[in-house]
Amino acid sequence: MYDLIIVGGGPAGLTAGIYAQRALLKVILLEREMIGGQIALSDVIENYPGFPSISGMDLMQKFEEHARGFGLEIKMANVENISVTDDAKVLKTSEGELRTKAVIIATGAKPRKLGVPGEKELTGKGVSYCATCDGPFFRNQTIVVVGGGDTAVKEAVYLSKIAAKVYLVHRRDKLRAEKILQEKAINSDKIEILWSHVLLEIKGENGVDAAVVKNLKTEEETTLDVHGAFIFVGINPTTDFVDVEKDDGRFIISNPKMETSVPGIFVAGDCRNTPLLQVSTAVGDGATAAFIAENYIDGLE
Protein backbone atom coordinates (compact mmCIF):
# COMPACT_ATOMS: atom_id res chain seq x y z
CA MET A 1 0.00 0.00 0.00
CA TYR A 2 1.16 3.52 -0.81
CA ASP A 3 1.16 6.36 1.67
CA LEU A 4 0.12 8.77 -1.05
CA ILE A 5 -0.97 8.62 -4.67
CA ILE A 6 -0.92 11.83 -6.70
CA VAL A 7 -3.25 11.86 -9.71
CA GLY A 8 -2.02 14.31 -12.35
CA GLY A 9 1.41 15.33 -13.57
CA GLY A 10 1.09 19.08 -14.07
CA PRO A 11 2.71 21.76 -11.89
CA ALA A 12 0.46 21.01 -8.90
CA GLY A 13 1.04 17.27 -9.02
CA LEU A 14 4.78 17.50 -9.60
CA THR A 15 5.18 19.98 -6.74
CA ALA A 16 3.17 17.72 -4.45
CA GLY A 17 5.45 14.88 -5.50
CA ILE A 18 8.58 16.83 -4.58
CA TYR A 19 7.22 17.67 -1.13
CA ALA A 20 5.94 14.13 -0.53
CA GLN A 21 9.24 12.61 -1.60
CA ARG A 22 11.14 14.93 0.74
CA ALA A 23 8.81 13.83 3.54
CA LEU A 24 9.96 10.24 2.84
CA LEU A 25 6.45 9.07 2.02
CA LYS A 26 5.87 6.04 -0.18
CA VAL A 27 4.38 7.92 -3.11
CA ILE A 28 3.60 7.48 -6.79
CA LEU A 29 2.37 9.99 -9.35
CA LEU A 30 -0.06 8.84 -12.04
CA GLU A 31 -0.49 10.75 -15.31
CA ARG A 32 -2.66 9.59 -18.19
CA GLU A 33 -1.44 11.79 -21.05
CA MET A 34 1.56 14.09 -20.81
CA ILE A 35 3.80 15.14 -17.95
CA GLY A 36 3.44 18.87 -17.51
CA GLY A 37 -0.26 19.07 -18.30
CA GLN A 38 -1.93 21.81 -20.33
CA ILE A 39 0.65 24.45 -19.41
CA ALA A 40 3.29 22.47 -21.30
CA LEU A 41 1.48 23.53 -24.48
CA SER A 42 1.89 27.23 -23.71
CA ASP A 43 4.24 29.11 -26.02
CA VAL A 44 5.54 31.49 -23.39
CA ILE A 45 5.12 32.10 -19.65
CA GLU A 46 6.14 35.53 -18.38
CA ASN A 47 4.74 35.61 -14.83
CA TYR A 48 6.43 32.68 -13.08
CA PRO A 49 9.02 34.09 -10.64
CA GLY A 50 12.62 33.44 -11.59
CA PHE A 51 11.82 32.94 -15.27
CA PRO A 52 11.04 36.26 -17.02
CA SER A 53 10.23 34.35 -20.20
CA ILE A 54 10.13 30.58 -20.67
CA SER A 55 8.05 28.14 -22.69
CA GLY A 56 5.58 25.94 -20.87
CA MET A 57 7.35 22.83 -22.13
CA ASP A 58 10.75 23.97 -20.86
CA LEU A 59 9.36 24.95 -17.46
CA MET A 60 7.56 21.64 -17.01
CA GLN A 61 10.67 19.72 -18.04
CA LYS A 62 12.48 21.47 -15.20
CA PHE A 63 9.66 20.52 -12.81
CA GLU A 64 9.82 16.89 -13.93
CA GLU A 65 13.62 16.73 -13.66
CA HIS A 66 13.41 18.21 -10.16
CA ALA A 67 10.78 15.68 -9.08
CA ARG A 68 12.58 12.69 -10.58
CA GLY A 69 15.80 13.94 -9.03
CA PHE A 70 14.25 13.36 -5.62
CA GLY A 71 13.28 9.84 -6.68
CA LEU A 72 9.58 10.41 -7.41
CA GLU A 73 8.02 7.40 -9.11
CA ILE A 74 5.95 8.46 -12.13
CA LYS A 75 3.69 6.06 -14.01
CA MET A 76 1.48 6.55 -17.05
CA ALA A 77 -2.01 5.36 -16.13
CA ASN A 78 -5.61 6.55 -16.31
CA VAL A 79 -7.52 6.59 -13.02
CA GLU A 80 -11.05 5.39 -13.72
CA ASN A 81 -12.52 5.74 -10.23
CA ILE A 82 -11.64 6.02 -6.56
CA SER A 83 -13.44 4.11 -3.83
CA VAL A 84 -13.04 4.50 -0.08
CA THR A 85 -12.80 1.56 2.33
CA ASP A 86 -12.27 1.50 6.08
CA ASP A 87 -8.50 1.31 5.76
CA ALA A 88 -7.62 2.63 2.30
CA LYS A 89 -8.45 4.59 -0.82
CA VAL A 90 -8.66 2.18 -3.76
CA LEU A 91 -7.83 3.50 -7.22
CA LYS A 92 -9.03 1.52 -10.22
CA THR A 93 -6.66 2.39 -13.05
CA SER A 94 -5.97 1.31 -16.62
CA GLU A 95 -2.91 -0.50 -15.25
CA GLY A 96 -4.63 -2.27 -12.36
CA GLU A 97 -5.79 -1.52 -8.84
CA LEU A 98 -3.76 0.52 -6.35
CA ARG A 99 -4.31 1.09 -2.64
CA THR A 100 -3.20 4.12 -0.66
CA LYS A 101 -3.72 5.95 2.60
CA ALA A 102 -4.25 9.32 0.93
CA VAL A 103 -4.82 10.82 -2.52
CA ILE A 104 -4.10 14.20 -4.07
CA ILE A 105 -6.25 15.03 -7.10
CA ALA A 106 -4.25 17.31 -9.42
CA THR A 107 -5.80 16.43 -12.76
CA GLY A 108 -6.23 19.97 -14.06
CA ALA A 109 -8.74 20.81 -16.75
CA LYS A 110 -9.37 20.53 -20.48
CA PRO A 111 -10.33 23.26 -22.96
CA ARG A 112 -14.07 23.91 -23.13
CA LYS A 113 -15.82 23.45 -26.46
CA LEU A 114 -18.10 26.10 -27.96
CA GLY A 115 -20.57 23.58 -29.33
CA VAL A 116 -21.19 25.43 -32.60
CA PRO A 117 -21.83 23.73 -35.97
CA GLY A 118 -18.63 22.62 -37.66
CA GLU A 119 -16.50 22.71 -34.51
CA LYS A 120 -16.48 18.98 -33.83
CA GLU A 121 -16.28 17.97 -37.48
CA LEU A 122 -13.32 20.24 -38.19
CA THR A 123 -11.34 19.70 -34.99
CA GLY A 124 -7.85 18.76 -36.13
CA LYS A 125 -8.66 20.09 -39.59
CA GLY A 126 -8.35 23.77 -38.80
CA VAL A 127 -10.17 23.98 -35.48
CA SER A 128 -7.74 23.93 -32.57
CA TYR A 129 -7.47 24.54 -28.83
CA CYS A 130 -3.67 24.87 -28.81
CA ALA A 131 -1.91 27.73 -30.59
CA THR A 132 1.57 26.36 -29.94
CA CYS A 133 0.66 22.97 -31.38
CA ASP A 134 -1.14 24.11 -34.51
CA GLY A 135 -0.25 27.75 -35.08
CA PRO A 136 2.65 27.03 -37.47
CA PHE A 137 0.20 25.38 -39.90
CA PHE A 138 -1.38 28.79 -40.53
CA ARG A 139 1.65 30.82 -41.51
CA ASN A 140 0.63 33.88 -43.54
CA GLN A 141 -3.04 32.89 -43.41
CA THR A 142 -6.08 34.52 -41.81
CA ILE A 143 -7.47 32.94 -38.65
CA VAL A 144 -10.05 33.60 -35.96
CA VAL A 145 -9.50 33.36 -32.21
CA VAL A 146 -12.48 33.16 -29.84
CA GLY A 147 -12.31 34.37 -26.24
CA GLY A 148 -11.37 37.36 -24.11
CA GLY A 149 -9.42 35.99 -21.16
CA ASP A 150 -5.70 35.63 -20.56
CA THR A 151 -5.31 32.50 -22.68
CA ALA A 152 -7.28 33.79 -25.66
CA VAL A 153 -5.51 37.14 -25.80
CA LYS A 154 -2.04 35.70 -25.17
CA GLU A 155 -2.52 33.12 -27.91
CA ALA A 156 -3.93 35.72 -30.31
CA VAL A 157 -0.77 37.77 -29.82
CA TYR A 158 1.37 34.66 -30.38
CA LEU A 159 -0.58 33.71 -33.51
CA SER A 160 -0.26 37.25 -34.89
CA LYS A 161 3.46 36.56 -35.27
CA ILE A 162 2.65 33.67 -37.60
CA ALA A 163 -0.62 34.47 -39.35
CA ALA A 164 -1.29 37.25 -41.85
CA LYS A 165 -4.31 38.43 -39.85
CA VAL A 166 -6.07 37.44 -36.63
CA TYR A 167 -9.71 38.17 -35.84
CA LEU A 168 -10.25 38.13 -32.07
CA VAL A 169 -13.93 37.46 -31.38
CA HIS A 170 -15.15 38.48 -27.93
CA ARG A 171 -18.74 38.54 -26.72
CA ARG A 172 -18.22 41.58 -24.47
CA ASP A 173 -17.12 45.17 -25.10
CA LYS A 174 -13.92 44.83 -23.10
CA LEU A 175 -11.33 42.09 -22.57
CA ARG A 176 -10.82 40.23 -19.30
CA ALA A 177 -7.14 39.50 -19.84
CA GLU A 178 -4.20 41.05 -17.99
CA LYS A 179 -3.75 44.70 -18.95
CA ILE A 180 -0.31 44.07 -20.46
CA LEU A 181 -1.80 41.39 -22.73
CA GLN A 182 -4.68 43.66 -23.71
CA GLU A 183 -2.24 46.37 -24.75
CA LYS A 184 -0.31 43.96 -26.96
CA ALA A 185 -3.49 42.83 -28.72
CA ILE A 186 -5.06 46.26 -29.10
CA ASN A 187 -1.82 47.78 -30.40
CA SER A 188 -1.13 44.98 -32.89
CA ASP A 189 -1.69 45.92 -36.52
CA LYS A 190 -2.38 42.25 -37.31
CA ILE A 191 -5.16 41.71 -34.75
CA GLU A 192 -8.69 42.97 -35.37
CA ILE A 193 -10.90 42.70 -32.29
CA LEU A 194 -14.58 42.07 -32.99
CA TRP A 195 -16.20 43.45 -29.86
CA SER A 196 -19.62 42.16 -28.75
CA HIS A 197 -19.48 39.30 -31.26
CA VAL A 198 -20.03 35.56 -30.99
CA LEU A 199 -19.01 32.73 -33.28
CA LEU A 200 -22.07 31.00 -34.75
CA GLU A 201 -20.60 28.46 -37.16
CA ILE A 202 -17.37 27.16 -38.64
CA LYS A 203 -17.62 26.20 -42.31
CA GLY A 204 -15.55 23.87 -44.44
CA GLU A 205 -15.27 20.34 -45.80
CA ASN A 206 -11.71 19.05 -45.38
CA GLY A 207 -10.56 22.21 -43.63
CA VAL A 208 -11.81 25.53 -42.34
CA ASP A 209 -12.95 27.88 -45.10
CA ALA A 210 -14.99 30.44 -43.18
CA ALA A 211 -16.41 31.46 -39.82
CA VAL A 212 -19.81 33.04 -39.27
CA VAL A 213 -19.95 35.64 -36.48
CA LYS A 214 -22.81 37.69 -35.08
CA ASN A 215 -22.79 41.21 -33.66
CA LEU A 216 -24.77 40.98 -30.42
CA LYS A 217 -25.74 44.66 -30.55
CA THR A 218 -26.94 44.88 -34.16
CA GLU A 219 -27.81 41.18 -34.72
CA GLU A 220 -25.87 41.42 -37.99
CA GLU A 221 -24.15 38.24 -39.16
CA THR A 222 -20.84 38.32 -41.03
CA THR A 223 -18.90 35.56 -42.76
CA LEU A 224 -15.16 35.80 -42.23
CA ASP A 225 -12.79 34.31 -44.79
CA VAL A 226 -10.49 32.34 -42.47
CA HIS A 227 -8.56 29.08 -42.61
CA GLY A 228 -8.17 28.38 -38.91
CA ALA A 229 -10.26 28.73 -35.75
CA PHE A 230 -8.71 28.72 -32.28
CA ILE A 231 -11.11 28.35 -29.34
CA PHE A 232 -10.19 29.63 -25.85
CA VAL A 233 -13.44 29.98 -23.90
CA GLY A 234 -12.56 28.43 -20.57
CA ILE A 235 -11.91 24.97 -19.20
CA ASN A 236 -13.70 21.91 -17.86
CA PRO A 237 -12.07 20.18 -14.88
CA THR A 238 -11.10 16.52 -15.07
CA THR A 239 -12.94 15.35 -11.96
CA ASP A 240 -15.62 12.86 -13.02
CA PHE A 241 -13.71 9.88 -11.62
CA VAL A 242 -13.81 11.02 -7.99
CA ASP A 243 -16.88 11.35 -5.77
CA VAL A 244 -16.28 14.45 -3.65
CA GLU A 245 -18.19 17.71 -3.29
CA LYS A 246 -17.99 19.89 -6.42
CA ASP A 247 -19.43 23.20 -7.58
CA ASP A 248 -21.78 23.66 -10.54
CA GLY A 249 -18.83 23.67 -12.92
CA ARG A 250 -17.58 20.33 -11.51
CA PHE A 251 -14.55 21.96 -9.88
CA ILE A 252 -13.67 20.28 -6.58
CA ILE A 253 -14.55 22.28 -3.49
CA SER A 254 -11.86 22.45 -0.81
CA ASN A 255 -10.85 24.43 2.24
CA PRO A 256 -7.57 26.41 2.41
CA LYS A 257 -5.80 23.19 3.48
CA MET A 258 -6.75 21.55 0.16
CA GLU A 259 -9.00 19.10 2.04
CA THR A 260 -12.08 17.90 0.16
CA SER A 261 -15.35 16.60 1.56
CA VAL A 262 -13.79 13.14 1.92
CA PRO A 263 -11.07 12.72 4.58
CA GLY A 264 -7.78 11.66 3.02
CA ILE A 265 -8.64 12.98 -0.45
CA PHE A 266 -6.97 16.30 -1.22
CA VAL A 267 -7.02 18.54 -4.29
CA ALA A 268 -4.56 20.92 -5.96
CA GLY A 269 -4.35 23.04 -9.08
CA ASP A 270 -6.80 23.91 -11.82
CA CYS A 271 -9.35 21.20 -10.97
CA ARG A 272 -9.98 23.01 -7.67
CA ASN A 273 -12.59 25.71 -7.09
CA THR A 274 -10.20 28.66 -7.06
CA PRO A 275 -10.33 32.21 -8.47
CA LEU A 276 -6.91 32.14 -10.13
CA LEU A 277 -5.55 29.44 -12.43
CA GLN A 278 -1.80 29.96 -12.74
CA VAL A 279 1.38 27.90 -12.48
CA SER A 280 2.30 29.79 -9.31
CA THR A 281 -1.02 29.07 -7.60
CA ALA A 282 -0.89 25.42 -8.67
CA VAL A 283 2.56 25.13 -7.11
CA GLY A 284 1.26 26.57 -3.84
CA ASP A 285 -1.70 24.20 -3.91
CA GLY A 286 0.55 21.20 -4.51
CA ALA A 287 2.90 22.07 -1.67
CA THR A 288 0.01 22.65 0.74
CA ALA A 289 -1.80 19.46 -0.28
CA ALA A 290 1.32 17.34 0.23
CA PHE A 291 2.05 18.90 3.62
CA ILE A 292 -1.50 18.41 4.90
CA ALA A 293 -1.62 14.89 3.43
CA GLU A 294 1.55 14.05 5.36
CA ASN A 295 -0.11 15.25 8.58
CA TYR A 296 -3.20 13.18 7.76
CA ILE A 297 -1.11 10.05 7.17
CA ASP A 298 0.83 10.60 10.40
CA GLY A 299 -2.49 10.82 12.24
CA LEU A 300 -3.52 7.38 10.99
CA GLU A 301 -0.53 5.71 12.62
Catalytic residues: 130, 133-134
Residue 23 half-sphere exposure, CB side, CA atoms within 13 Å?
23
CA–CA gap between residue 9 and residue 108 (Å, rounded): 9
User: CA dihedral in degrees (294, 284, 60, 110; nearest 10)?
Assistant: 100
CA–CA gap between residue 129 and residue 12 (Å, rounded): 22
Q: Report how many helices (DSSP H) and strands (DSSP E) the chain contains, helices first.
A: 7, 17
CA–CA gap between residue 132 and residue 25 (Å, rounded): 37
User: CA dihedral in degrees (216, 220, 225, 229; nearest 10)?
Assistant: 20
CA–CA gap between residue 129 and residue 213 (Å, rounded): 18
- What distance lies between CA 260 and its chain's CA centroid? 20
